[in-house]
């Protein structure tokens, strides 16, 4: 199984319910791996390189018409083939391309998250810092740019991209240091709890590679982008950008938008002076890539996998187990984890008490990425663990409810746990262990609590990223069965 400590997690509390929930979670996590789709989308037949299939193209900054798929290249006429990119799922996609093309790859560089196993043999992998970038993030990003700048007409550049790339491929703009970027992210995202779109609106203007800047570097080479996406397939790309614009409450140009976000969170006077100078200068050389800059370039965009694969995998397994499973929300994002936990626990209690709108045994599934604004708290945890632990307060005493949540990438926040699982016995077990759950939640210390209770879920770093998977399960209690 993907979950490494299943036996320990199912050894206490609502044992039967936990076994069902862990089985469902494991199936969802298995379905989130982009490798198989990548292998399906890159293949060599009769001296031809075939890339893509109909249905996998996706509208992006530059349109990739669905009828342009598959792309077919005569390998005898192709120059060099490069594989570069970054993100939590980048190495897994690069591994798929490497297994398909082997020695046909000229050179490659991907930045992956520290803690992942090394998968690639021909493509160089730099393990970098996340959620805060580090020196390895910078070194690997610099090498990515250097490789892309070698590309010329007749060459092919595969760019593999997924969530986490903003930190893993950080290349500060001239005049800025890595520490400048780290300080901004720490203050804005972790201390003030800004949403990820708001954070990226600022971070994206401090770097030279993120925020769709990579097409600037390969010249006239053909660029094929492979994306493991965090947004479900059904949400149009244009709406993603519309939501990002509304989240910053402005349609201002990018540099000005970054300034406004910092001012809204009362950080403008607190960020390093070089950051303020850079944003006020608004140098167009380091601005976002414009459509005019890309006009005439051969650029294709292929969406390899998204969160709907994980949710559908979990739902299918639940139904195989005889559980009435329903996906409540596919993309629950940028909302504090604890209030979400309180809401989901109320839903669980309603299902248990009234058996509606679904008859137990039933499961409510959801995907997405909540937030945790830590402020001055000193605890350790992550959005999935904090969500799960916060539900334990309301479901205490239930004999049929189990709640769990995991991050598809295998690491939740700055911890080595992927998430957590709780049930109606959790609060009683915490009291017996002398744990003040309410106090620990205030200190955002969910990891320590769940680890002590044997309720932290471990998978290890998984080389994928389609955000989180949560489940609220209500079994048939003895009362309901009567």
**Percent of residues, the chain, with pLDDT higher than 90:** 81
Does the domain at residues 6-31+307-475 carry the CATH identifier 3.40.1480.10? yes
Record the pTM: 0.89
Predicted confidence at residue 65, as pLDDT, reads: 62
3-state secondary structure of 289: coil
pLDDT band at 58 (very low <50, low <70, confident <90, very high): low
Q: To which residue do tokens 């080595």 refer?
A: 416
For residue 246, pLDDT over 70 is answered with no
Whether 475 shows a pLDDT value over 90: the answer reads: yes
Identify the weakest region by mean pLDDT among 66-70, 187-191, 203-207, 419-423.
66-70
Q: Above 60 in pLDDT, residue 239?
A: no
Cα gap 121→98, rounded to integer Å:
8
Average pLDDT, the chain: 92
Is a pLDDT exceeding 70 seen at residue 237? no
pLDDT-based confidence at 235, cuts 50/70/90? low
Bridge partners, residue 74, by sequence: 48
- The pLDDT tens digits of the residues spanning 289-317 come to 888 888 888 889 899 999 999 999 999 99
Q: Would you say 163 and 228 are in contact if contact means Cβ atoms under 8 Å apart?
A: yes
What pLDDT, on the 0 to 100 scale, is given for residue 292? 82
**pLDDT above 60 (res 62):** no
Query: What mean pLDDT is predicted for residues 114-140?
Result: 96
pLDDT tens profile 136-179 = 999 999 999 999 999 999 999 999 999 999 999 999 999 999 99
DSSP character string of 79-128: --EEEEEESTTHHHHHHHHHHHHGGG--EEEEEEETTPPP--SSSEEEEE
Per-residue pLDDT for 32 more than 50? yes
Q: Quickly list DSSP for 50-81.
A: EE--TT-B---SS---GGGPSEEEEGGG---E
Q: In the CATH hierarchy, which fold is given to the domain comprising 35-305?
A: Rossmann fold (3.40.50)
Token readout for 319 is 């139904």
Given a cut of 70, whether residue 244 has pLDDT beyond it is no
pLDDT at 264 over 90: yes
Say yes or no to pLDDT of 99 above 60.
yes
DSSP state of 208: S
291-296's contacts with Cβ under 8 Å and 24+ in sequence apart are: 291/61, 291/62, 293/216, 294/61, 294/62, 294/215
pLDDT for the residue numbered 69: 83
Residue 374, pLDDT score: 87
Name the residue ranges covered by the structural domains of the chain: 6-31+307-475, 35-305
C-alpha to C-alpha distance for 140 and 461, rounded to whole angstroms: 19
DSSP 8-state secondary structure symbol assigned to residue 130: S
The helix/strand/coil state of 257 is helix
């Amino acid at each position: 199984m993907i979950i490494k400590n299943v036996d320990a997690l199912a050894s206490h509390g609502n044992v039967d319910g936990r076994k069902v929930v862990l089985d469902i979670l494991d199936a969802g996590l298995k379905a989130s791996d982009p490798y198989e789709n990548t292998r399906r989308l890159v293949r060599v037949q009769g001296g031809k390189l075939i890339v893509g299939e109909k249905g996998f193209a996706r509208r992006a900054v530059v349109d990739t018409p669905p009828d342009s798929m598959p792309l077919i290249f005569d390998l005898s006429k192709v120059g060099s083939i490069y594989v570069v990119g970054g993100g939590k799922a980048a190495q897994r996609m690069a591994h798929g391309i490497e297994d398909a093309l082997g020695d046909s790859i000229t050179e490659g560089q991907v930045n992956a998250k520290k803690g992942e196993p090394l998968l690639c043999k021909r493509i160089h992998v730099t393990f970098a810092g996340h959620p805060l970038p580090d020196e390895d993030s910078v070194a690997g990003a610099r090498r990515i740019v250097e490789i892309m700048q070698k590309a010329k007409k007749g060459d092919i550049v595969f760019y593999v991209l997924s969530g986490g790339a903003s930190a893993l491929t950080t290349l500060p703009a001239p005049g800025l240091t890595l520490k400048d970027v780290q300080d901004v992210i720490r203050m804005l995202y972790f201390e003030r709890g800004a949403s990820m779109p708001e954070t990226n609106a600022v971070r994206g203007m401090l770097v030279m590679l993120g925020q769709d800047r990579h097409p600037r570097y390969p010249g006239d080479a053909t660029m094929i982008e492979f994306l493991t996406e965090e947004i479900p397939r059904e949400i149009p790309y244009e709406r993603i950008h519309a939501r990002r614009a509304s989240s910053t409450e402005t349609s201002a140009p990018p540099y000005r938008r970054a300034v406004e976000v910092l001012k809204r969170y009362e950080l403008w006077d607190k960020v390093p002076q070089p950051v303020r100078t850079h944003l006020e200068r608004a140098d167009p050389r380091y601005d976002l890539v414009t459509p005019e800059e890309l006009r005439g370039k051969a650029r294709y965009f292929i969406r390899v996998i998204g969160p709907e694969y994980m949710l559908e995998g979990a739902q299918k397994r639940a139904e195989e187990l005889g559980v009435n499973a329903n996906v409540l929300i596919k993309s629950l994002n940028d909302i504090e984890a604890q209030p979400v936990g309180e809401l989901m626990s109320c839903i669980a209690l309603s299902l248990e008490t009234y058996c509606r709108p679904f008859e137990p045994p039933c499961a409510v599934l959801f995907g997405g990425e909540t937030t945790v604004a830590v402020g001055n708290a000193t605890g350790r945890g992550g959005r999935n663990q904090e969500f799960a632990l916060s539900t334990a307060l309301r479901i205490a005493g239930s004999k049929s409810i189990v709640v769990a949540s995991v991050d598809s990438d295998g690491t939740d926040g700055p911890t080595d746990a992927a998430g957590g699982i709780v049930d109606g016995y959790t609060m009683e077990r915490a009291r017996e262990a002398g744990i003040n759950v309410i106090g620990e939640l205030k200190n955002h210390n969910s990891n320590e609590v769940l680890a002590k209770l044997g309720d932290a879920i471990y998978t290890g770093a998984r080389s994928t990223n389609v955000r989180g998977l949560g489940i609220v399960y209500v079994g048939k209690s003895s009362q309901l069965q009567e």
